Structure 1
Amino acid sequence: MNLMYIRKDLLQPRLYQELIYAKCKERNCLIVLPTGLGKTIIAMMIADYRLDKYGGKVLMLAPTKPLVLQHAETFRKFFTLPPEKIVALTGEISPNERVRAWARAKVVIATPQTIENDLLVGRISLEDVTLIIFDEAHRAVGNYAYVYIAKEYLKQAKNPHVIGLTASPGSTPEKIMEVLRNLGIEHIEYRSENSPDVKPYVQGIKFEWVKVELPELYKEVRKLLRDMLRDSLKPLAEAGLLDSTSADIPKKEILRAGQIINEEMAKGNHDLRKLLLFHAMALKLHHAIELLETQGLSALRVYLKRLYEEAKAGSTRASKELFLDKRMKKALALLIQAKELGIDHPKMEVLKGLIREQLKRKENSKIIVFTNYRETAKKVVEELMKDGIKARRFVGQASRENDRGMSQKEQKLILDAFARSEFNVLVATSVGEEGLDVPEVDLVIFYEPVPSAIRSVQRRGRTGRQKPGRVVILMAQGTRDEAYYWSSRQKEKIMRETIRMVSQMVRKERQLSLESYVKREVNEEIKEEKKETGGIKVVIDSRELRSEVVKKLKTLGIKIEVRTLDVGDYIVSEDVAIERKSANDFIQSIIDGRLFDQVKRLKEAYPRPVIIIEGQLYGIRNVHPNAIRGAIASIVLDFGVPVIFSSSSD
């Protein structure tokens, strides 16, 4: 293998990396490889080959800023290019600086939203990009920015080449085929830890699950809440909104029932109004049981305290009803008793035992604990610190009430300190899963099993890279925990089978290479539409760039100019401006009183304004249908502004 830019002294590719490179350097590939087995290395080898053969530049996309910065660091470490030729682009960099960086770079690593915006506004062109790499490629579905970028790339580039990287492309053939079609991919290279060419490099991961028996007091509280839940579900089932009144009903089904109630009420069927109370009670009880089973009594206590405050203030009727129930009073008494006895979730003691045992065996061990809830992460750190064990929390950037998120800088500082063994235990919520390079660890503990195959695979790859690792799953017997675990195992197995099936489907489709098919189809479409549009220009408000409408206009070959507009979202002529409102935004603007002020300003600025309302208007936000109809009538009759309804951005 002839490497031009890669530093051979630092990088000796493994056998499976060489094989995948050989198969993917000339055709559009999706590379499916468990986390930690060096997908980025293969991408760099292909980047080296494409730059050497075709020149131009390489674009790598990654969904989050930390991943972008991490990839940029890796490229700078292994590539002989001067550092200023390898640039990381995120929304934090000003548009003008991005344009300059794009012009001088050979390798660009960026977040997809940044590139999508720059493409829509016409700041950059993909003409001389000879390779595009989509990291975490399973995200290329629906309206995600990857989809639009791939379409534009196959249309603009002189020498297009697409590589997708993922540890888990999805669990159904349809989902994977959608990813392949959206990215114009024609071949899948799949490896698992058990593939013959990978096996020599992977130490076996010991996978243990530790069953935790719930104390009697727990079971009593759980029984009371489950009985109450069944009673709340009964009226919904009798009305035909649910198939069962089982306390093990998935939350999705309860949410769906609520949606139907709102839609029916919007049509004027007010008999269902009385069901809203039972629906709200069922949701609150479902969440309470989940907290009890997976997180513990203190988490449940905090939640019930919040509901009690709501009941006392009289702000929600459902909370009030719940606290009038004798069973809830009994459950509360049990929780107070548990607090006095110092009982919390038995998992906490088991967790501390596992960590102490690991540290006794090896003093400077690195341990990661994963949990689904920030509250639990906080509590785990507190409990470990009490025991004199050095632990730190690692959470995402979003801030919740009373709980500030972590900036990227803070995240990086914590990971660096963990790598230097300044503390032993990293307690992470789901932010630690996707591709972030968490240092080599001795033990991974799941505080609760994770139902999603994607996350399970991502986490498993966090250990056993250079030496045998150990993964322990804590599960409360006879609860959701156990169901989640089996569902996660099953999904992973299905994923492997699905990839095999899809690979065969792709082979059958080979005779009509997807790339040329997509390219031809898109070009024909655009030629036709360009003829029709005859050089139309639309001025768009910069805040609308997030909307799918802009991409659709661009694909139609319409000239786009982006500005910050005082009124309206789209100006299509001197007379006509269009205000586009999603159904949700329209209802919000009725609630907060902005609506008529906006319509008035629109009418004053343009002779022929139009309002488009996008999406299903009735049945959301519990606003009475007559209030909505009244607002629309007023816009049309009092202001003389036509209202057009559309079901989607198309």
Structure 2
Amino acid sequence: MYLRKDLIQPRVYQEVIYAKCKDKNSLVVLPTGLGKTLIAQMIADYRLSKYGGKVLMLAPTKPLALQHRESFLKLFDLPEEKINTLTGEIQPERREEIWRKSIIITATPQTIENDLVVGRISLEDVVLLVFDEAHRAVGNYAYVYIAKEYMKQAKHPLILGLTASPGSDEAKIKEIVKNLFIEHIEVRTENSPDVKPYVQGIKFEWVRVELPGIYKEVRKILREMLKDSLKPLAEAGLIESASPDVPKKEILKAGQIINAEMAKGNYDVGKLMFYQAKALKLHHAIELLETQGLSALRAYLKKLYEEAKRGKTKSTKELMQDQRMKKAIALLVQAKELGIDHPKLDKMKELIKEQLSKKPASKIIVFTNYRETAKKIVKELLQEQIKSMRFVGQANKENDKGLSQKKQKQILDLFSQGEFNVLVATSVGEEGLDVPEVDLVIFYEPVPSAIRSIQRRGRTGRHRPGRVVILMAKGTRDEAYYWSSRHKEKQMISLLKKVEDMVKKEKQASLLGFVKPKEKEEKAEEVVEKREEPEKDVYEKLPIKPIFVKKPKGIVVYVDSRELKSQVPKILKELGAHLEVRTLDVGDYIVSEDVAIERKAANDFIQSIIDGRLFDQAKRLKEAYSRPVIIIEGELYGIRNVHPNAIRGALAALTVDWEIPVLFAKDSSEVASYIYLIAKREQEERKKEVAVRSEKKALTLAERQRLIVEGLPYVSATLARRLLKHFGSVERVFTAKESELMQVEGIGEKIAREIRKVITSPYEEEEEKNI
């Protein structure tokens, strides 16, 4: 027994969930703050006591992984050096050493995924694998690959998925269940009979605010403009109607259809892209106005004005020249002079002041979707002498630097210690991080997501009654978003019950059928051993025993470390390739001394045409490897507003001018198959070594000769070719008279004289100048 029972007092529902999940792969759905981690620790204690080995707990971020380690250190009777956290900041060799000596490991999934791909660690002895925030186990997220490898490698596998909400989409819930090999689901809500006694009541309030007249006027103008932009799209049948309430995803889908049609040669629909681009910009402007306020809209329109001034896009230029837009901007200027902003701002300040007057040491979180709004809220609160800080993600946005994980932790520590009262957070504060319990949570705007809504309100009501206030602007998409999240949350509970019944009925047969049972594997190994024994006897009887050479690593592929983010290396490993990970100067995959492969996602390929990187990369590939290859992954046409002929022109240049073959693959699996096949041909059939190059490849004789002649004054690469073609050798070029040089096209009397001067003048050592 490792868990210190003297420090814990499990609740009834935790004991029940533990008993049901300790021996079968389970998904536990439990609201934030109700002790999912303790359930994981109870199961970890049971599995370690029964089998020994290791426990691995994965969390999406480094702060959360470190937080889990602290929890294990506090409750487990193990030496500190046996409980460790692995993240990408630790050197690979050091990670390998830590893995070997640890009993409990908390880690970020990308780190474990990378170490598995390159064979640095094995999951054979892991007796429990915990996926925190298990709703992420979809698509290409690292959780999916790790779970698959774990079920293949582990001697005594057990998976535990933890989440406050897996979402409200049935297909997504089923995908999570399949990807994590779930056999059993445990669901609890705040209203579950065994949970209710432990949940402090959360008081929900939704406060509607009335938009002022100037708001309504600006909104009316923008909606009218949006309707005009949508009409041509509706007439073409690309969207259902020209209503300004059309969802943004419909407008985006229309753009994809237009691009796809243009790629097929239907250029007549190209003019519709102009209206689609205008509609998207207007839709975003209305959303900012309704949910964030006049200052957010002003900032966005200022950005569009700068774009129009630079003549960046036709749609932006026409948008800003529209008389109606000029009127809307005039109204925004007027509102600024009158000091009018979103009424939510005043209401929010009123709520915070009221809370602080009741309890000056209150902790309050304000959630907002936009960084700009978070910045504005903090500024307003500080002006009111209310101590507040902004809490955003790591990514740097335009003119807005993100917060490092270290800085995030510092801010949370200060908040926990009561150094300031109000934390103004974007979505980064919703998931997983141990945000101290607060007295008041304010949603500056509702979110149309069940997961995010549950995560946000889980910040309060853990140990004492909490209060959640949702601010909504009357008659705007705020109201639609609120009711959407409420509907999705109810839908999620019923879907979970439905999926749980499905899992029970199927007993996971359809989901786990493709995993080879351990018993069968062991029997297969026994059969192989029995077959091999007679062969050994035969070898013993031979007069001269054969020499058994150690089997080579097989197909070796050098992979650029940045490619580990893609699915290709994982699939290559499954195909049987041995991967060597390096930071490569040229290419993404090296398969021989001659062949380097550059993989480009379709979107990146188009972006590299736009920003001019493509031909620089082609040049470097050709300089380093004699037979480079480019593989483009995904559908190339219809994803960006780039004319199909521009794409075709780039492909033609690569193939004809640079002599680089271009292959097309529909997905990562096909890319990996191409790479493996090319590597197999190079290494097995052609017996080529794998060589990583960063320097230029050895020059041919002709290249060396041209390089020497190019050293002459005013002689370009083209002129060097002409000279060598005319005279036949470097020696004849250097011994030719002025009159003979002038017979070559492009060489006049002046150039001929300068060439002869350089060749015939005596060499004199230059004196060093004192500086």
Interval containing the TM-score (normalised by the shorter chain): over 0.9
1:101 equivalent in alignment to 2:120:
no
1:245 equivalent in alignment to 2:264:
no
Distance 1:43 1:302 in 2: 46
Between the two structures, name the one with larger relative contact order (CA 8 Å, sep ≥ 6). Answer: 1
Distance 2:377 2:615 in 1: 51
Please give the secondary structure, in 2, of the residue aligned with 1:400: coil
Please give the secondary structure, in 2, of the residue aligned with 1:184: coil
Q: Which residue of 2 aligns with 1:7?
A: 4
Question: Among 153, 156, 169, which residue is 1:172 paired with?
Answer: 169
1:287 equivalent in alignment to 2:287:
no
Identify which range, 534-543 or 52-61, moves more after superposition.
534-543
1:423 equivalent in alignment to 2:442:
no
Compared CA separation, residues 587 and 207, structure 1 to 2 (3 A): same
For residues 249-648 of structure 1, the aligned pairs below 5 Å read: 249-510=246-507, 512=509, 514-515=511-512, 518-520=515-517, 535-603=554-622, 605-606=624-625, 608-648=627-667
Distance 1:369 1:90 in 2: 30
1:181 equivalent in alignment to 2:178:
yes
Compared CA separation, residues 325 and 585, structure 1 to 2 (3 A): closer
Compared CA separation, residues 324 and 571, structure 1 to 2 (3 A): closer
Q: Is the 8 A contact 1:62 1:112 kept in 2?
A: yes
Please give the secondary structure, in 2, of the residue aligned with 1:124: coil
Please give the secondary structure, in 2, of the residue aligned with 1:9: helix
Distance 1:233 1:560 in 2: 51
Compared CA separation, residues 320 and 577, structure 1 to 2 (3 A): closer
The residue identity in structure 1 corresponding to 2:489 is: E
Distance 1:230 1:493 in 2: 34
Distance 2:647 2:330 in 1: 46
Q: Which residue of 2 aligns with 1:41?
A: 38
Distance 1:521 1:271 in 2: 60
CA deviations on 1:295-325 (whole Å, 9 max, x unpaired) are: 1111111111222222233323222212322
Q: Which residue of 1 aligns with 2:760?
A: none
Distance 2:62 2:601 in 1: 29
Compared CA separation, residues 594 and 341, structure 1 to 2 (3 A): closer
Compared CA separation, residues 317 and 597, structure 1 to 2 (3 A): closer
The residue identity in structure 2 corresponding to 1:484 is: Y
Q: Is the 8 A contact 2:366 2:425 kept in 1?
A: yes
Distance 1:96 1:280 in 2: 50
TM-score of the superposition, structure 1-length normalised?
0.94
Please give the secondary structure, in 1, of the residue aligned with 2:559: strand
Q: Which residue of 1 aligns with 2:673?
A: none
Superposed displacement of residue 58, structure 1: 0.5
Compared CA separation, residues 40 and 597, structure 1 to 2 (3 A): same
Superposed displacement of residue 273, structure 1: 2.4
Distance 1:120 1:109 in 2: 18
The residue identity in structure 1 corresponding to 2:146 is: I
Question: Among 116, 131, 146, which residue is 1:149 paired with?
Answer: 146
Q: Is the 8 A contact 1:184 1:518 kept in 2?
A: no
Q: Is the 8 A contact 2:553 2:578 kept in 1?
A: no
Q: Is the 8 A contact 2:182 2:508 kept in 1?
A: no
Distance 1:27 1:458 in 2: 27
Q: Which residue of 1 aligns with 2:83?
A: 86
The residue identity in structure 2 corresponding to 1:649 is: S
Identify which range, 221-230 or 334-343, moves more after superposition.
334-343
Distance 1:308 1:567 in 2: 40
1:233 equivalent in alignment to 2:230:
yes
Q: Is the 8 A contact 2:183 2:508 kept in 1?
A: no
Distance 1:608 1:104 in 2: 45
The residue identity in structure 1 corresponding to 2:582 is: R
**Identity score, percent:** 74
Distance 2:322 2:519 in 1: 62
CA deviations on 1:474-519 (whole Å, 9 max, x unpaired) are: 1000000000000010000000000000010000111738557534
Distance 1:198 1:90 in 2: 35
Please give the secondary structure, in 1, of the residue aligned with 2:139: coil
CA deviations on 1:563-586 (whole Å, 9 max, x unpaired) are: 344433333445544332222233
CA deviations on 1:71-114 (whole Å, 9 max, x unpaired) are: 11111111111111111111111111111111111111111110
The residue identity in structure 1 corresponding to 2:642 is: V
Q: Which residue of 2 aligns with 1:60?
A: 57
Question: Among 22, 29, 32, which residue is 1:32 paired with?
Answer: 29
Structure 1 vs Structure 2 CA RMSD: 2.2
Compared CA separation, residues 517 and 623, structure 1 to 2 (3 A): closer
Compared CA separation, residues 7 and 522, structure 1 to 2 (3 A): closer
Distance 2:211 2:254 in 1: 32
Q: Is the 8 A contact 1:155 1:522 kept in 2?
A: no
Aligned positions, number: 641
1:133 equivalent in alignment to 2:152:
no
Runs of 5+ consecutive residues of structure 2 not aligned to the other structure: 529-551, 670-771
Superposed displacement of residue 164, structure 1: 0.4
Distance 2:625 2:332 in 1: 63
Q: Is the 8 A contact 1:208 1:471 kept in 2?
A: yes
Question: Among 156, 159, 164, which residue is 1:159 paired with?
Answer: 156
Please give the secondary structure, in 2, of the residue aligned with 1:148: helix
Please give the secondary structure, in 2, of the residue aligned with 1:174: helix
Identify which range, 476-485 or 567-576, moves more after superposition.
567-576
Compared CA separation, residues 571 and 56, structure 1 to 2 (3 A): same
Please give the secondary structure, in 2, of the residue aligned with 1:404: coil
Q: Is the 8 A contact 2:137 2:176 kept in 1?
A: yes
Distance 1:21 1:329 in 2: 63
Distance 1:93 1:534 in 2: 27
The residue identity in structure 2 corresponding to 1:146 is: Y
The residue identity in structure 1 corresponding to 2:437 is: E
Q: Is the 8 A contact 1:119 1:125 kept in 2?
A: yes
Computing the radius of gyration from Cα coordinates, the structure with the larger value is 2
The residue identity in structure 1 corresponding to 2:60 is: P
Distance 2:655 2:486 in 1: 56
CA deviations on 1:48-72 (whole Å, 9 max, x unpaired) are: 1111111111101111111111111
Q: Is the 8 A contact 2:25 2:184 kept in 1?
A: yes
Question: Among 13, 16, 21, which residue is 1:16 paired with?
Answer: 13
Please give the secondary structure, in 2, of the residue aligned with 1:449: coil
Distance 2:648 2:204 in 1: 59
Superposed displacement of residue 409, structure 1: 1.6
Runs of 5+ consecutive residues of structure 1 not aligned to the other structure: none
Q: Is the 8 A contact 1:186 1:515 kept in 2?
A: no
Please give the secondary structure, in 2, of the residue aligned with 1:369: strand
CA deviations on 1:18-66 (whole Å, 9 max, x unpaired) are: 1111111111110110001010110011111111111111101111111
Distance 2:621 2:422 in 1: 57
The residue identity in structure 2 corresponding to 1:275 is: L
